[in-house]
Amino acid sequence: MPRPHDRSRTGHPPVLIPEAVIRERVRALGEEITERYLAEGADRELVVMGVLKGAFMFVADLVREIDLPMIVDFVGASSYGDGRSSCGEVHLNPGSWVEVKGRDVLVVEDVLDTGNTLKAVVAALESHGARSVRTVALLRKPGAKVAPDFVGFEIDGRWVIGYGLDDAGKWRHLPYVGHVDGIGA
């Protein structure tokens, strides 16, 4: 069934980055990541560590575009709760990770707002003995204090939803990145 083009009629948030544009950029990111690791002679299994919950769709699509042997795992990380502003404290659950000691790890993040979550995840992986830690973010906002190794899109500072990103648990299912302006969120 075709998706409606006028999302305002269906109560869906306005589109910021369309599904087809995301799909093409994720394909290109997969190629860039593969080439970077292969150029360094990577003959080892890569650990792809998705940051939950927001990166789950990005991880699923990205790993299908990376042509390297890999293990996919996730880390629970939160600094927002149900609000739209960071509490400034990042909560991680590293106890369930696969063993990263001596391994190359690619951390997959949904959106870099301040960058605090990504910094905390990278520090935790390094403290667990990862051989190398690289990062990829689907979206980066102007206030991000960290520069990931790979970036999908640079966006403005508004609150975004869809493609795994949420607003108090809502809108993760959308196949595009939208924004909450105009939906009364």
- The predicted pLDDT at position 80 comes to 54
Confidence of residue 147 (pLDDT cuts 50, 70, 90): very high
Please give, one letter per residue, the 3-state secondary structure of 75-118. EEEECCCCCCCCCCCCEEEHHHCCCCECCEEEEEEEEECCCHHH
Average pLDDT over residues 91-105: 80
The dihedral region occupied by 150, where left means phi > 0, alpha psi between -120 and 50, and beta the remainder, is beta
Count CA atoms within 13 Å of residue 179 on its CB side: 10
pTM for this structure? 0.86
* Bigger pLDDT: 177 vs 182: 177
Question: How high does pLDDT run on average in the chain?
Answer: 86
Active site residues: 113
Could you state, in order of their start, the residue ranges of all structural domains in the chain?
Answer: 15-179
The dihedral region occupied by 152, where left means phi > 0, alpha psi between -120 and 50, and beta the remainder, is alpha
Are 129 and 102 in contact, with CB atoms under 8 Å apart?
A: yes
Q: What percent of the chain shows pLDDT beyond 90?
A: 65
Has residue 182 got a pLDDT over 60? no
Are 7 and 15 in contact, with CB atoms under 8 Å apart?
A: yes
Q: What is the DSSP letter of 162?
A: B
Confidence of residue 28 (pLDDT cuts 50, 70, 90): very high
Query: CA 180 to CA 87: how far, in whole Å?
Result: 20
CATH number for the 15-179 domain, one of 3.40.50.2020, 2.60.120.680, 2.60.120.10, 3.30.565.10?
3.40.50.2020
Query: CA 35 to CA 41: how far, in whole Å?
Result: 10
Has residue 6 got a pLDDT over 50? no
CA-based angle 112:118:121, to the nearest 5?
160
Q: What is the DSSP letter of 3?
A: P
